[in-house]
Chains A and B, each alone.
Chain A
């Protein structure tokens, strides 16, 4: 068995061996993590820490970018001008979040073009939630309330992630997400105060999104291979199950305000734990969607690929124009200095 590199590698050996001598920079990295300080781009860091961050941040960025699609689906059909404007602003925010995160990943030495290539080649992962379709207007409500709600629950602790640029990007994102969740809640509330057909639409949508939203927190703790290391490095601060539980505890009273039921017959208050007991999550579905066999995986990736291809000429033309203008400026200043010399 090969021992993985990194500061925690030694702890995987069971024989009582002498502590390996740490290099000064590795010692400094460990001290910074222990002191709850932040690692910055130019600092030394274990290769595994860097790789783990690139994986997590780029997946997160891809999720924001793919996440624009289920909602942009409704921009042209939003029921009022106000809702249309809100939806456009929200989709624009998601694009912005993707860009903040790509920039954060880039400080680790990976290029945005490489990340984009990995996404459109189907080699990179993104959150399984965006592979579900949005057939009704109520889905805009459910996405805001449940999907963005789950995202906020996940992301608030990430504001304190040990890698500085990631934490800073998350602070910015969290500030903007709370509008997303509230506008979704409002869409559902208005539907629930509407006609019987509107109430049914809202409930049907919540039924479809509830379980996929709970899956957003990732596999259960005993089946989450990267979690423990991520928590030692203080990238993650809470386990998947802990965050999922926290989310449901907040959700139940909100569902009561809306007047919707959550589609879990086993959901009930536990007086002993002072928390809600949850029913069993269908992890087969989660793994199927993650493996690319969800309801909309192919469609989402194709749309992203098309957008990338159709935008190619714009990127190239803008780059060519910038080169031309720079050359023109250089020539002009060369001519100026010639004038001065003569």
Chain B
């Protein structure tokens, strides 16, 4: 399933842009842009999304290369963790007051 907004009718394809704001952090999706190829996509991404030093690294991905989960099956797809609060530390209350635990 392609990313939202990608349209086959346009002369330049859509790219999704990810920026690493500083070393030690992940690349985070910041938005999208149009560009004819990957070289220009990276340059356009620099000009559009890092004009004030917002990034030290940029990824661009063709929007139609992204596969997403099915939006109509949202509930069922993410059902597994619900009711399993024993996966969280806060579930275990008997140890309250015990230090370094």
Binding site for B on A (CB under 8 A): 41-43, 89, 92-93, 96, 99-100, 103, 106-109, 111-113, 168-169, 172, 176, 315-316, 318-319, 321-322, 325-326
Contact = CB atoms under 8 A, between A and B. Distances in A.
18 contacts: A41-B4, A92-B51, A96-B48, A100-B31, A100-B48, A103-B31, A106-B5, A106-B14, A107-B4, A108-B5, A111-B7, A112-B34, A113-B9, A315-B36, A316-B11, A318-B37, A321-B36, A322-B37
Q: Which A-B residue pairs are the 5 nearest by beta carbons? A: A42-B71, A106-B5, A41-B4, A322-B37, A318-B36
B41 to A, nearest CB: 10
B32 A103 contact: yes
Interface in B27-67: 30-34, 36-37, 40, 47-48, 51-52
A148 B32 CA distance: 25
Contacts, number: 62
A319 B36 contact: yes
A6 B40 CA distance: 42
A108 B5 CA distance: 7
Contacts of B85: none
Interface of B: 4-5, 7, 9-12, 14, 30-34, 36-37, 40, 47-48, 51-52, 68, 71
Contacts of B40: 318
B10 A112 contact: yes
B69 to A, nearest CB: 9
A15 B47 CA distance: 57
A205 B48 CA distance: 32
Contacts of A321: 36-37
A323 B38 CA distance: 12
Given A315-B11, A316-B11, A322 B36 contact: yes
Given A92-B47, A106-B4, A319-B36, 11 more contacts: A103-B31, A103-B32, A103-B33, A111-B7, A111-B10, A113-B7, A172-B31, A315-B36, A316-B11, A318-B36, A325-B37
Contacts of A325: 37
Contacts of A112: 10, 34
B51 A319 contact: no
A99 B33 contact: yes
Nearest to B11: A319
A113 B10 contact: yes
Contacts of B47: 92, 96
